[in-house]
Structure formats: structure tokens, C-alpha cells
Amino acid sequence: MILSTSILSADFAHLGDEIHAVEQAGGDWIHIDVMDGHFVPNLTMGPFIVDTCRRISSLPLDVHLMVDNPDRMIDWFAEAGASTLSVQIEACPNIYRTLEKIRSLGCRPGIVLSPGTPAAAISQVLHLVDLVLVMTVNPGYSGQAFIPSTLPKINQIRQMLAEIQSQALIEVDGGITSQTLPLVYQAGARVIVAATSIFKHPAGIAAGIAELRESVA
């Protein structure tokens, strides 16, 4: 299981300290939520933050683009040091070209589905991706409640990947706690994004990471 810690809930006044605490506690990836105020109502981080994280840490940077027309920004994020670069299928009219461009720039391509998007929407491009990110909340904010009806979709995507013998990883994002993590793990998710349950854990970042790991131990 790969824990991808979403800095959307980090204290940005102490971002370096927070990321170093994640490293020491055994977090695997840093998840960076890019929102443009159009595709989702919230407005967050750009390539500058990716570049900042790259200078702070050598952990893989897992960049989640929640933006309209991501094609115009892919180069910026690749150059800033993104390791994986995931785009929302709902925002990509030319998804084939988008995914090929991400790979050609040296990043691992991922495709993201919002809760209302069926698994069938990505069937034609599954062979092009390294990651399938199933949103388990509506994209836009951390701290939202997990949507349980996304679980059958995780299972369905696991089967679709097996059928084409793809090694792509299934990632989940939104409302992950020590209660919901066993459910998504059982359904087939192996990359787990969490913001609130790590950065806002009452006993601190290390306790948050430990509690998540123990829930599927």
C-alpha cells in the first residue's frame, strides 16, 4: 500500500517541517491538489508549489489536476518536477493526446474519475495509464465525507485492468480514514490519498500515518 499524503490540509506556514514529518513517519508520496476555480469551485496550488516540494523532498510528487483544459498546463507541472500527473477525464476532450503528452514529458500518467463518472468512461484509454484515481468525494475540498457508492466502481476498474493485463495502480482520494481505508483496500485500491486524517490528526502526522497503516495491517 502506498500512502500519498495530500498537503491540501498541511500548515503552509510550516510546509517544510510538515513534509519532513511525513518523510520521517514513512509517508510514500506527496499528493498535490491543483484547482483552478473553474473545474472545481476552489483555487489552490500551481507549479510553484510543485517546484517547492521538489526542493524540500525527494519523495515522488503525485500531482492531481482539477482544472479545465489541462493540456495547456502539463508542461509546467512536468518541468516543476511532478512524478505522476493525473487529469480528470471530465475535463479532457482529447484524452488520448493528453495522456501521451504526459508520458512523453517523463511523468507517469493517471486518469481521474469524479463520483458521477462511470468506469466505462475510461475503458478506451486504460492501456495508456499507470494510475487510475477514483474520487471517493466530489473534487474540490479536503475534509468531506466518503461516498460509499464509489466502492463497486473500484472493483469494476480492478476487473477491467485485469482483463487487459495492466499493472496500473488504483488510487483513491477523499474521506479516507481508518474506518474507510479497509473498504477501499478490499475493493482493490493500493494508492491511498489522505489529507485530514494525516495532517489534522489530533496526535500529529506520525500518529495519523500509523493509524491508517494499522487499519489494513
- Say how many Å lie between the first and final Cα of the chain, rounded: 10
Q: Which of 95, 58, 57, 53 is nearest to 77 (CA)?
A: 53
By CB under 6 A, the residues from 6 to 35 that bind ligand DX5 are 6, 8-9, 31, 33
Q: Which does 110 bind (CB under 5 to 8 A by kind): ligand DX5, Zn ion, none?
A: none
Active site residue 11: no
Specify the residue for cell string 474520487: 135
CB of 47 to Zn ion, least distance (A): 16
- Grouping H, G, I as helix, E, B as strand and the rest as coil, residue 192 is strand
What's the one-letter identity of residue 211? E
Q: Which of 34, 64, 125, 151 binds ligand DX5 (CB under 6 A)?
A: 64
Measure the CA–CA gap between 57 and 20, rounded to whole angstroms: 7
CB of 162 to Zn ion, least distance (A): 25
Q: Which does 102 bind (CB under 5 to 8 A by kind): ligand DX5, Zn ion, none?
A: none
Q: Give me the DSSP letters along 176-191.
A: --TTTHHHHHHHT--E
For 72, the grid coordinates are: 495547456
State which H helix or E strand residue 159 sits in: helix 151-163
Measure the CA–CA gap between 176 and 196, rounded to whole angstroms: 8
By CB under 6 A, the residues from 177 to 196 that bind ligand DX5 are 193-196
Specify the residue for cell string 500519498: 4
Catalytic residue (choose from 11, 33, 68, 71):
33
Please identify, using beta-carbon distances, which residue of 33 and 130 lies nearer to Zn ion. 33
* Residue 83 in the binding site for ligand DX5 (CB under 6 A): no
Please identify, using beta-carbon distances, which residue of 109 and 174 lies nearer to ligand DX5. 174
Active site residue 28: no
CB of 8 to Zn ion, least distance (A): 7
Q: Which residues contact ligand DX5 (rule: CB under 6 A)?
A: 6, 8-9, 31, 33, 64, 137, 139-144, 173-176, 193-196
Catalytic residues: 33, 173
